[in-house]
Amino acid sequence: MENSWVNRDLYPFESRFLEIDGHQIHYLDEGSGVPILFSHGTPEWSFGYRDVVRHMRGQFRCIAPDLLGFGLSDKPADADYSVAAHARRMEQFIEKLGLRDFHMVANDFGLSIAFQYVLRHPENVQRISLFNGWMWPLDTDPHYARPARWMRTWLGRLLYLRFNFPVTVVTPAAFGDKKKLTPETHRHYKLALPDPESRRAAYVFSAELLYATGFWAEQWRQIGTLAQKPCLIFWGMKDSFVPPYELERWQKALPEAQVMRFENAGHFVQEEEPEKMAEALRVFFGA
């Protein structure tokens, strides 16, 4: 698979691939020790976790897959890109790698995708960390539902597929400190979704804000399973996409969780504060 556009100074990892449902899933697998599975959202890929992994691979085995339709994974036109389908593929990914007694770190859409495994197999996951994401229905909250409905219009579809709206517009706006999204970093998100055909998975996620209600409702009904796990929550307090009021919901549901707020970070904490995140994770995971 051609990925010569990847700057190996920024992303100095061996590309690995695993076949799931006939498609090639790209992932990085760095270091040794207790495994940590990193799960990304949209329009991200494992590139977003690069600095966290670089800081942690000396003590842990760091594994970060690219969801089907993202990053360096295959982007088939006819695939099921619903969160439920991604969750099923994530479980297959974990099983094929034979991961046991591992930790999880997840954000955005990747949170519910990865944590579905925790709900189904709580005995196999030791500790969890989450940031700037959700596991409950969003269709009744105008903050999410209004733009999601707009994205279903012809104009929204055009902007998403033809002009790569989530990468060119949403991603820069999601940073608390805009200077931390350098042109070279931004290029790696643009070239991961280079044409309309490659942006289908990201576009489906915009619809899932309305259509994945049943999946998330069932997950939230089982939140007590997560409450039994040691949990570390990070939150970028300048996130205008998954706002700080959602952190309060997490704290009520997971009252024993540790919380670390980043007052000047936005949605992508792993991009804006990777060193602080890695240091906190090393302590929390017991390095």
Two tokens at 40? 């990304």
SS3 at position 38: strand
- Residue 3's pLDDT is 82
Ranges of residues in the chain whose predicted pLDDT is under 50: 1
Is 108 known to be catalytic?
A: yes
**Which residues face 24 on adjacent strands?**
19
* pLDDT tens digits along 202-229: 999 999 999 999 999 999 999 999 999 9
CA dihedral for 29, 21, 125, 268, sign (positive or negative): positive
Task: Indicate which residue of 108, 121, 141, 177 is catalytic.
Answer: 108
- Give CATH superfamily name and number for 16-137+213-284: Alpha/Beta hydrolase fold, catalytic domain (3.40.50.1820)
CA distance 73 to 89: 12
pLDDT for 287 equals 62
pTM of structure: 0.97
21 is catalytic: no
Question: 286 — alpha (psi -120 to 50), left (phi > 0) or beta?
Answer: left
Question: Which amino acid would we find at residue 270?
Answer: Q
Q: What is the pLDDT of residue 1?
A: 46
* Helix (H/G/I), strand (E/B), else coil: 264: coil
